[in-house]
A and B are shown apart, each in its own frame.
Chain A
Amino acid sequence: MPYVTSIERSAHRQGLRQGIEAMLRVRFGEEGLKLMPEIHAVHEVERLQAILKALETATSPDAVRTLWSSANP
């Protein structure tokens, strides 16, 4: 089983969050960026990847929010 170190996971999260931030700006402008504090509280790489993917087609910031608010109440 390959082991990914903590700092590698942390670096992966950073890259994904940068991508998510850019996508939020492009899709929803300043309104979208208001989600960033919540994005910083998401730590699972898989979930950040799912958020990035969902941002391609989401119709509103609230539609994206359901991706973590349901699992992280």
Chain B
Amino acid sequence: MSIDYDSPWKEALDAYFEAFLALLFPDVHRQIDWSRGHESLDKEFQQVVPAAEVGRRYVDKLVKVWTTDGVERWVLIHVEVQTTREAEFPRRMYVYNYRIFDRYNRPVASLAVLADDDAGWRPTEFRSSLFGSEAGLRFPAVKLLDFTANEAGLEQSTNPFAKVVLAHLKARQTHDDPVSRHAWKTRLVRGLYERGFSAKDVRALFRLIDWLMELPPLIDDVFRQELENIQGGKQMPYITSVERSYHRQGLRQGIEAMLRVRFSEEGLKLMPEIKVVHEVERLEAILKGLETAVNLDEARRLCSPIAT
């Protein structure tokens, strides 16, 4: 399974920046006044990244925060997932740190998240020297693999980012084992309900877990059924309510094909009415009724808003 880890990480950093720092860089988190909020500086970051580097799949994020003593500070996060880029990574951190310093005339804290699988790769600095002249950057770095020793802690944690890190670790561990990945994915999603996350968090974290822990389509169908069971027992259908729009979409496509086959262009004139039907059960009944409807009038009655 080839998985795009970068996109879910970008989304996770956008959605859970404070939780991210609290979990991975607690010393930094402690020095920030979170009551003042924080702000993504995407435009400012793009200003210092040449066009040639835009579109390359890096996870970099520049964020404005305020310290507890009231000073505005900038933090630059780099997440490195692919081991193949490792040699270039500290150099890139140095370059971006310097570019921001130069362009905006302010210091920036560069923080590294090493999300790769090589336990021995632990860069903490970049150095460049010539003729006794030296330049460089030392940076805090967190190795996600180190959290493998405390998976139970991640699972118990009420920090939403702990779920992202655990999903990431489990996704890497089960790279060639869909059965085990399926079991962990179900366990992680069930945990969202058990930890008492809000409806909004459950939906957002489900999306991230789902993205990181992709399963083969056949298992997806089983997983979806299990999810209904998990939620059914709890009366909290946070996740599966979203999926219904896709079920509707599939049914409407079936109804459209059916109308064309049975009543040709005249039949298709009923589609605007079909598009405003939102109950899955009602669409199923219309599809079924259209199989045997004897004429266009009967089809029209089936699709009309007042039909029962």
Task: Please tell me if the beta carbons of B239 and A16 are within 8 angstroms of each other in the complex.
Answer: no
Interface segment, B13-21, B28-36, B44-52, B250-258?
A: B250-258
A16 and B253 within 8 A (CB): yes
| B254-268 Cβ-contact flags toward A at 8 Å (1 or 0) | 110110111000000
Size bracket of the B interface = 35 or more
Tell whether, in the assembled complex, residue B211 and residue A15 are in contact, meaning their CB atoms are under 8 Å apart: no
Q: Which of chain A's residues have a CB closer than 8 A to the CB of B220? A: 6-7, 9-10
Name A's interface SS.
Answer: helix
Give the residue name and chain of the A residue nearest to B220 (CB).
A6
- Asked if A43 is at the interface (CB within 8 A of a chain B CB), the reply is yes
Q: In the bound complex, how far is the Cα of B278 from the Cα of A20, in angstroms?
A: 20
In the bound assembly, the distance between CA atoms of A9 and B242 in angstroms comes to 11
- Please, how many residues of chain A have a CB less than 8 angstroms from a CB on the other chain? 32
Determine chain B's interface SS by DSSP, over half rule: helix
Is the CB–CB distance between B224 and A11 below 8 Å? yes
Q: Check B247 against A11 for contact (C-beta < 8 Å).
A: yes
**Bound: A48/B215 CA distance, A:** 19
> Which B residue sits closest to A3, measured CB to CB?
B211
Does A22 lie within 8 Å of B253, measured CB to CB?
Answer: no
In the complex, what residues of B have CB within 8 A of residue A49's CB?
253
Known A-B contacts: A19-B253, A49-B253. Give 7 more (CB < 8 A): A6-B214, A10-B243, A11-B250, A15-B249, A19-B287, A22-B290, A23-B254
Q: Which residues of chain A have a CB within 8 Å of any CB of chain B?
A: 1, 3-20, 22-23, 25-27, 43-44, 48-49, 52-53, 55-56
B residues in contact (CB < 8 Å) with A: 7-8, 11, 206-207, 210-211, 214-215, 217-218, 220-221, 223-224, 227, 239-240, 242-255, 257-258, 260-262, 284, 287-288, 290-291
